[in-house]
Amino acid sequence: IRLARKHSDPVVIGCMNNLYASVENIDEQKFWIDICKDMLLHPRNAADSPCNDLSLKLDDTEPRRYFMCPNLCKVFSYYRTYCPCSCLLIMNMEKSLSLRASEDGSVFVKGQTSFTVSDDLQVIPPNSTANSVFTKLGLMDVDATEELTINIGTVEILNLLVCSLVSKTPLTETLLKPKQDLKSS
């Protein structure tokens, strides 16, 4: 929601924008500690380090930092907050941890593996034969298909997100019918 709101043409996703804005406007004094508001407004992605190596950059958050207790309790946090162990000290010792993509440039899959994504967003693994994929998709004549290359950016991803919540054919509606402005629906 934060990313959709910051886009040059803000995207409205139901009433989620209202929820985000409401939390944003709450006085920090209402929270247990000041970092709680930041945790709600800027949740961290457990896979943010590998995601930084993807070609399409969607996340605008700062690179992840890890903090640990000065008592070395072996507890890590993404935030400078109280240690959950019995010492209750502020976790302010920064620790460097890094997860990087493999040497061949792949991020989540091995090598240059490719998948087929159907219109209803089912991910079909590469070991499926072309005929079984087409049959599953309801296509009887494989020769009647054509390959189409589409450039996808932030606008398309945000439209796909909105459309995936209400449609059974989000890829067609967002990528093959671009004249329709889904963000305003």
Q: How do the pLDDT tens digits run along the chain, 185 residues long?
A: 777 777 767 777 778 888 888 999 999 889 887 788 888 888 877 777 777 777 776 666 677 778 888 887 777 777 777 777 777 788 888 877 665 556 776 777 777 777 878 888 888 777 766 556 677 667 777 787 788 888 888 788 888 888 888 889 999 888 887 554 444 44
pTM equals 0.60
Q: What is the 3-state secondary structure (H, E, C) of the chain?
A: CHHHHHCCCCCCCCCHHHHHHHHHCCCHHHCCCCHHHHHHHCCCCCCHHHHCCCCCCCCCCCCCCEEECCCCCCCEECCCCECCCCCCCECCEEECCCCCCCCCCCCCCCCCCCCEECCCCCEECCCCCHHHHHHHCCCCCHHHCCCCCCCCCHHHHHHHHHHHCCCCCHHHHHHHCCCCCHHHC
Delimit the domains of the chain by residue range.
Answer: 2-95, 116-184
- State the pLDDT at residue 166: 86
pLDDT digits (tens, 9 = 90+) for 34-79: 788 888 888 877 777 777 777 776 666 677 778 888 887 777 777 7
For residues 170 and 6, what is the distance between their CA atoms, to the nearest angstrom?
23
Task: Return the bridge partners of 82, or none.
Answer: 90
